[in-house]
Amino acid sequence: MFEKITAILIGSLSVGIGVNFFLAPYHLLDGGLIGIALLMHYHFGSPIGLMIIIISIPLYIYVWSFERMYFVRSVHGLLFSSLCIDLFSNVETDWKLPVLVSAILGGIIIGLGVGLMLRYETSTGGTDLLAQIISSKTAINVGILILVIDGSIILSGIGIVGVRAFFYSSLTIMIVGILTSLTAGNEG
């Protein structure tokens, strides 16, 4: 239990740091519900973490009704990661990284955080949770599923972030998918 709580806290901190310090300053996207929430943030100025929770409600209604164990395993990750994202949203850094470096570091940090939580049978919810459910029923690697879902989401956001950010975001989600898969191991 202590290991799981530690994984949730470290994973959530990693996601919050990755989103706010490396993606948001360059209007880069992640995939999944984080990507959708980032798009809403860039377009409307809405808080990213709060949007993740709101957007997750339909999925969590389904999970509560049909996959209760996944609800129990992921609701803490959803709440803590969303909280960390919003807690770090106003933190300003003095460094100015090239966008390529930021896209790579953001992908590494987020992928490690998500993968760590998946390794301990929890997640940030959202499409990570959806990928976890699909993976358990099909034996398709969870990292690959997340990569496909994420790619679809950033492709839909090209009109908001532009072509340049789209390409860097594509690199980010590939790194997130790879690091998630490697860190999560054979879970799912």
Q: Give the pair of three-digit tokens for residue 66.
A: 């049909």
Distance (Å, whole) CA 53 – CA 106: 21
Length of the chain as a residue count: 188
Q: In one letter, which amino acid is 162?
A: G
Structure-derived torsion over alpha carbons of residues 134, 177, 118, 127, reported in degrees to the nearest 10: -50
Low-confidence ranges of the chain (pLDDT < 70): 128, 186-188
Q: Please, are residues 34 and 126 in contact by the beta-carbon 8 Å criterion?
A: yes
Q: What is the pLDDT of residues 54-103, one digit of tens each?
A: 999 988 898 898 878 878 888 888 999 999 999 999 888 888 899 999 99
